[in-house]
Amino acid sequence: MVSGLEIRMSRILRKGKMLCIPMDHGISSGPIEGLENPASIISRCETHGLTSVIINKGIIKSLPRPTRVGILAHFSASTSLSMSPNRKMLTGSAEEALRLGADGVSLHINVGGKEEPEMLEQLGRISEQCHNLNVPLLAMMYPRGENIKNPHDPEIVGHVARIGAELGADIVKTLYTGDVDSFAKVVKSIPVPVVIAGGPKAKTDADILQMTEDAMKAGAKGVTYGRNIFAHKSPEKMVGALAAIIFGKESAKEAEKRLGKK
C-alpha cells in the first residue's frame, strides 16, 4: 500500500532523482537577476526535465496556475540587510504547506555559528510536524558560521549533512566537496537521498555540468541549482542539459551540446 509520503515524494522526485530550482532568494536578497518573475522561470523549465521548485509561501499564492512540477514550501528566512544574516527564522508549518497545496517543506539550516542551536531546534520541530502529516522534508544543511574555516571540507560536509538525516529530513541538500571520492564517502554515510547545492553562479556552463556528473557518480540523487539555472541566459536549455546527465546518464561534455555548444 502506498503512503502519503511516497505519493508526495514522487511529485518532487522522478525515479528517485531530483532536478530542482530553489527560488527562495527573494527574502534574503530581493528580486535578483533571473528572479524578477519566478512563475515565468517555472513555466519555461517545467517541461524540460525539472522535477520540483523551492519557493516561499507568497510566491506559491501568486502563481497564475498550478505547476506541472512538485513544490516545496520554503519556511526559513533571513535578509542580507540583517545584523544576523545567517540566523534563519521559521516562517511556516507543515500544515500550512498542505493548505498552500505544496508537496513538501524546505528548511535552511546553518551549522557552525552562534545561531546554530535555534535552527537545529526548528528542524526537529518541523520534522515532527512533517512526519505526522506524511509531508516530505528537505533540509538545506550548510556549513556556515564563525567556526567553519573551509565549508567544503569533506569531514565537515559529512557531519553537517548527517545532522539533517539524524533530525528527520527525508532529503538532505548540502555542498559538493569538490571530488568524487570524498563526496562518495559523504553520501554513503547519509541514510536518505543527498542532493547538491549549486552555490554562486558558475564561471562556465561546463563547470556546473561537470560538477553534476561527478556528484551523480558519487551517489548523489540530484541537484538543486538556483542562480546556475534561473540566472542562465537559457534556463530551459540548462535544465535540459542537467536532466540529460541526471536521468539520461549523459556525460557533461555530451550534455553541453544541448546548450548549443560543441
In the chain, what are the domain boundaries? 4-259
| pLDDT tens per residue, range 74-110 | 999 999 999 999 999 999 999 999 999 999 999 999 9
Can you give the pTM of this predicted structure? 0.97
Q: Is 24 a catalytic residue?
A: yes
Which residue ranges are tagged as binding site? 24-28, 142-144, 198-199, 226-227
Average pLDDT of the residues of the chain: 97
Helix 205-217 to helix 180-188 angle (10° resolution) is 50
Point out the catalytic residue in the list 88, 103, 170, 173: 173
Catalytic residue among 88, 103, 142, 170: 142
Q: Please identify which of the residues 24, 103, 170, 214 carries the catalytic annotation.
A: 24
d(CA 26, CA 35): 8
Strand segments (E) across the chain: 18-22, 52-56, 70-74, 76-77, 89-90, 104-111, 137-143, 171-174, 194-197, 222-224
- What is the dotted CATH code of the domain comprising 4-259? 3.20.20.70
Q: What is the mean pLDDT of residues 243-253?
A: 98
Please state whether beta strands 89-90 and 76-77 pair in parallel, antiparallel, or not at all (unpaired). antiparallel
Residue 49 confidence class, pLDDT cut points 50, 70, 90: very high
For the cut 60, the answer to whether the pLDDT of residue 176 exceeds it is yes
Q: What is the mean pLDDT of residues 145-153?
A: 97
| Confidence at residue 261, expressed as pLDDT on a 0 to 100 scale | 62
Q: Quote the CA–CA distance of 231 and 212 in Å, as a whole number.
A: 17
Pick from 92, 82, 81: nearest CA to 55: 92
Clarify whether 142 is annotated catalytic.
yes
| Distance, CA of 49 to CA of 100 (rounded, Å) | 24
Structure confidence by residue, pLDDT tens digits, 189-198: 999 999 999 9
